[in-house]
Structure 1
Amino acid sequence: MRKRLVFVFMAAVLVMLAACNRRLVYDKYVSTPVVGWEKNDTLSFEVSPVDSAASYQSYLGLRITDAYPFTALTLIVEQHVFPRDEVVTDTVFCQLTDERGNATGTGLSYHQYKFPVTTLQLQHGDSIHVRVRHDMKREILPGVSDIGLSLYRE
């Protein structure tokens, strides 16, 4: 009985440690308009000041439905670092299907993806204003449900 109790306790501690991700600094999703994401609709994210100087890796999260008509998506990501007034602009090409046209994301009716953007060197107290817009030829994109941003301390 005592061995079983110790085993249960150790398993609980491992689950709690695995659930904690001290590297994750920011994680938020913003919904796009239901009728479709227009080219001039810019999504914004506000990252609060960081508590330590380090390298931070940013990622874009993407949720789409089967109504999305393309196999890829190109996004423009502008990261404005304050108070340094530094702007980092990246073009992120999001390949959504494999060579056979099958979705590579996770999920069934909604497919979720995660794409790396860039690594930023931030100082204590730096904050980031991030703007995301699509760079597709079509003005309105149906099937894009949510765009997310996550930031990890390396």
Structure 2
Amino acid sequence: MTNLSNQPDRGINRKTSLKLRSIITAFISLLFFSCENQALYDQYQAIDNTTWEKDKEYYFTFLVTDISVPYNLTLEVRNNNLYPYQNLWLFCKEELPIGPLKRDTIECMLANEYGKWHGHGISLFQSSFPIRTNHVFPYEGQYTFSFRQGMRNDKLSGIQEIGFRVEKAQ
């Protein structure tokens, strides 16, 4: 005669294993869906030899297909310790699919009055500057934003990259 009291109940183990697998699968699925990137556009461009020439313009072109939702537009600047100033003046142009060219001047404060960088990093600092928040694009189509440095230097050192991000507003 066999002693059944020492053998594990396989039905309970299978149920527990199935529940555990279901919980793990649901958690992994939730993790993937929660990490969904809301960015319509996110691009960086390297500044040639970390020296931004006065007449050099950097272009960011993206396509807008949904004009019913608001977007946040953010300029990203990556500078190193060799940047000699507290701020950075930029000339911005916006080309819409329809209509005139829009121009603006933007001041980016990269450091405080004591020279401490505002951005995140150790030797390369990244700073974000909101250009527009909850902006609704007026037309579907291709938009181009361009940036040119507006400092008095013909050759501006210390700026390594600029980036532009367009993401759905929360």
Same fold (TM over 0.5): yes
1:92 is displaced (CA, Å) by: 1.7
Q: Amino acid of the residue matched to residue 73 of structure 2?
A: S
Structure 2 residue 129 is matched with structure 1 residue 115: yes
Q: Taking structure 1 as the reference length, what is the TM-score of the superposition?
A: 0.85
2:84 alignment counterpart: 69
Root-mean-square deviation (CA, aligned residues, Å) is 2.1
Tell me whether 85-94 or 65-74 shows the greater mean CA deviation.
Answer: 85-94
Q: After the TM superposition, which segments of 4 or more aligned residues of structure 1 sit over 4 Å from their partners? A: 1-7
**Structure 2 unaligned runs (5+)?**
1-15
In the alignment, structure 1 residue 89 sits paired with structure 2 residue 82: no
Give the Cα separation in 1 of the matches to 2:75 and 2:161.
Answer: 10
Find the partner of 1:106 among 120, 127, 143: 120
Q: Does 1:136 align with 2:151?
A: yes
- Segment of structure 1 superposing worse, 142-151 or 86-95: 86-95
Query: TM-score normalized by structure 2?
Result: 0.78
Which has the larger share of strand?
1
Amino acid in structure 2 at the alignment position of 1:88: K
In structure 2, the residue matched to 1:19 is 35
Fraction of identical pairs, as percent: 25
Q: Which runs of 5+ in 1 are unaligned?
A: none
CA distance in 2, matches of 1:138, 1:144: 13
User: Higher helix fraction: Structure 1 or Structure 2?
Assistant: 2
**Aligned pair in 2 of structure 1 residues 108, 11: CA closer, same or farther (>3 Å)?**
farther
Structure 1 SS opposite 2:112: coil
